[in-house]
């Protein structure tokens, strides 16, 4: 079987779908599989040990699909199309019906197999006529695509249930958590240098995210509450736009100048060291955590104790696993209390680290994802 990834994003484009596609494709290649990636035409893709990346899909219009078919027809059967589904990624204001027609033609006429990984399902019926119309079209696209699929996956339990209503009963949507896209660097000297330079003798509490407007408002309120723990806490903001977000906080709260550090855009090795340097991470999410939160998975892959919030997208298994301290959404005081308990108990932090690493490897790791994909690989 030759795996043919069809993705709306691929490096050098920055994004979760791009990172996920590259990770899974390269690890399937290492497992001895034949793998190609059909990607949009957006810059020169990286060279990954012979991985066949074809940036031929353009802007997902007819010429791009024609070029994509030329590539696919040059690959010996059997071919498995592995569609990375996120409706907003394929252009045409997220309503690219030509994509659906092309996939239908590849499966029905050219006899290719189709698998789907749903990174996002569809828009909700809200926020006016335009979004409601797009939500209607998205469901139609899902209705067709998932009826063509041999296997399908979704990153959290909510989406599994949501998509199942639009799929044939013969297709079981499989729950597959999204693994971390931050490799573990593990340079102890670098980690200690960050602790010394950033935290000094303080506890270091970190956050890893992208600092969008909605999440940023929650995080700003939480940061102000965190300093009620005492003067021995410093905050480290990791991820793109962290330095810009820091300027916003300091302009509104000049008393916090010098207590928060943001290092700006970093390489994956640097981010790994910075996560490892933290004593505790705080990860508030709109709607709560779920097994598709890439930043959360990066924290857990490094074994760092974490405090986060429940919400309507939170998978029920999180309470069973007990590896993340959870509070209700917007309960900033509750989150601060959880952080305080972890900081004041080094034995608890060590035990939590051990549990996190065990659960991450068992449920969330890239190894586990690849093993799932290779089940019934025919």
Q: 16-30, 53-67, 182-196, 332-346: which has the minimum mean pLDDT? A: 182-196
Q: CA-CA distance, 357 to 272, in Å (whole number)?
A: 15
Q: Which two tokens stand for residue 53?
A: 């990346």
Mean pLDDT of 7-29: 93
Mean pLDDT of 138-160: 96
Could you tell me which residues are beta bridge partners of residue 154? 118, 175
Q: 96-110, 128-142, 259-273: which has the minimum mean pLDDT? A: 259-273
3-state secondary structure of 217: helix
Q: CA-CA distance, 41 to 45, in Å (whole number)?
A: 9
Do 280 and 349 form a contact (C-beta atoms < 8 A)? yes
Q: CA-CA distance, 339 to 305, in Å (whole number)?
A: 9
Q: CA-CA distance, 215 to 15, in Å (whole number)?
A: 17
Do 25 and 51 form a contact (C-beta atoms < 8 A)? yes
Q: CA-CA distance, 300 to 361, in Å (whole number)?
A: 10
Q: CA-CA distance, 92 to 97, in Å (whole number)?
A: 9
For position 153, what pLDDT does the model report? 97
For position 211, what pLDDT does the model report? 83
- pLDDT-derived band of residue 55, with 50, 70 and 90 as boundaries? very high
Do 275 and 296 form a contact (C-beta atoms < 8 A)? no
Q: Which residue has the higher pLDDT, 330 or 313?
A: 313
- pLDDT-derived band of residue 219, with 50, 70 and 90 as boundaries? confident
What number of CA atoms fall less than 13 Å from residue 350's CA on the CB side? 3
Say if residue 256 is exposed, middle or buried (CB neighbours under 10 Å; 0-12, 13-18, 19+): middle
Q: Which CATH class is domain 188-364?
A: alpha beta
CA distance readout (Å), 332 to 147, 188, 296, 342: 43, 32, 18, 16
For position 45, what pLDDT does the model report? 83
The residue to which tokens 């012979």 are assigned: 50
The dotted CATH code for 2-176 is: 3.40.50.11930
Q: CA-CA distance, 219 to 186, in Å (whole number)?
A: 28
Domain with CATH 3.40.50.11930 in the chain: 2-176
Please state the pTM of the whole predicted model: 0.92
Q: CA-CA distance, 85 to 139, in Å (whole number)?
A: 12
Q: CA-CA distance, 111 to 265, in Å (whole number)?
A: 44
- pLDDT-derived band of residue 14, with 50, 70 and 90 as boundaries? confident
Task: Name the pairing type of β-strands 233-238 and 203-208.
Answer: parallel
Do 18 and 7 form a contact (C-beta atoms < 8 A)? yes
Could you tell me which residues are beta bridge partners of residue 83? 6, 116
Quick check: 269 pLDDT over 80?
A: yes
Return mean pLDDT, the chain: 92
Q: What percent of the chain has pLDDT over 90?
A: 72
Do 165 and 172 form a contact (C-beta atoms < 8 A)? no
Could you tell me which residues are beta bridge partners of residue 237? 207, 262
Do 307 and 371 form a contact (C-beta atoms < 8 A)? no
Quick check: 6 pLDDT over 80?
A: yes
Whole-number CA gyration radius for the chain: 22
Do 264 and 317 form a contact (C-beta atoms < 8 A)? no
Using CA atoms in the order 271, 211, 204, 185, what is the torsion angle rounded to 10 degrees? -10
216 CB neighbour count, 10 Å cutoff: 17
Q: Which residue has the higher pLDDT, 37 or 224?
A: 37
Q: CA-CA distance, 20 to 11, in Å (whole number)?
A: 10
Mean pLDDT of 248-263: 88
Quick check: 30 pLDDT over 90?
A: yes
Domain with CATH 3.40.50.2000 in the chain: 188-364
For position 362, what pLDDT does the model report? 95
For position 114, what pLDDT does the model report? 98
């Amino acid at each position: 079987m030759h795996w043919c990834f069809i993705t709306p994003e691929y490096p050098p484009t920055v994004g979760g779908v791009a990172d996920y596609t590259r990770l899974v494709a390269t690890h399937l290649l290492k497992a001895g599989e034949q793998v190609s990636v059909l990607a949009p035409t957006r810059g020169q893709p990286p060279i990954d040990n012979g991985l066949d990346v074809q940036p031929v899909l353009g802007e997902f219009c007819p010429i791009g699909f024609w070029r994509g078919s030329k590539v696919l027809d040059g690959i010996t059967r059997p071919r498995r199309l592995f569609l990375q589904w996120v409706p907003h990624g394929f252009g045409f204001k997220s309503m690219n019906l030509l994509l659906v027609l092309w996939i239908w033609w590849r499966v029905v006429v050219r006899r290719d197999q189709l698998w789907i990984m749903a990174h996002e399902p569809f828009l909700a019926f809200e926020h006016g006529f335009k979004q409601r119309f797009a939500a209607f079209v998205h469901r139609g696209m899902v209705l067709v695509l998932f009826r063509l699929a041999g296997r399908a996956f979704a990153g959290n339990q909510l989406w599994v249930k949501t998509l199942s209503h639009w799929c044939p009963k013969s297709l079981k949507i499989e729950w597959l958590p999204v693994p971390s896209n931050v490799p573990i660097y593990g340079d102890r000297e670098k980690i200690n240098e960050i602790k010394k330079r950033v935290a000094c003798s303080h506890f270091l509490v970190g956050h890893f995210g992208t600092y969008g407007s909605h999440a940023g408002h929650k995080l700003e309120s939480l940061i102000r509450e965190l300093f009620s723990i005492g003067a021995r806490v410093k905050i480290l903001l990791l991820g793109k736009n962290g330095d810009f977000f820091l300027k916003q906080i300091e302009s509104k709260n000049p008393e916090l100048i010098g207590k928060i550090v943001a290092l700006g855009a970093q390489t994956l090795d640097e981010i790994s060291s910075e996560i490892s340097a933290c004593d505790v991470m705080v990860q508030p999410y709109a709607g709560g955590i779920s097994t598709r939160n890439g930043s959360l998975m990066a924290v857990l892959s490094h074994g760092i104790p974490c405090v986060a919030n429940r919400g309507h997208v939170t998978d029920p298994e999180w309470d069973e696993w007990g590896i993340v301290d959870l509070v209700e959404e917007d309960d900033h005081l509750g989150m601060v209390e959880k952080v305080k308990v972890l900081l004041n108990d080094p034995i608890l932090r060590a035990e939590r680290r051990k549990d996190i690493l065990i659960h991450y490897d068992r449920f969330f790791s890239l190894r586990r994802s690849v093993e799932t994909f290779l089940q019934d690989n025919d």
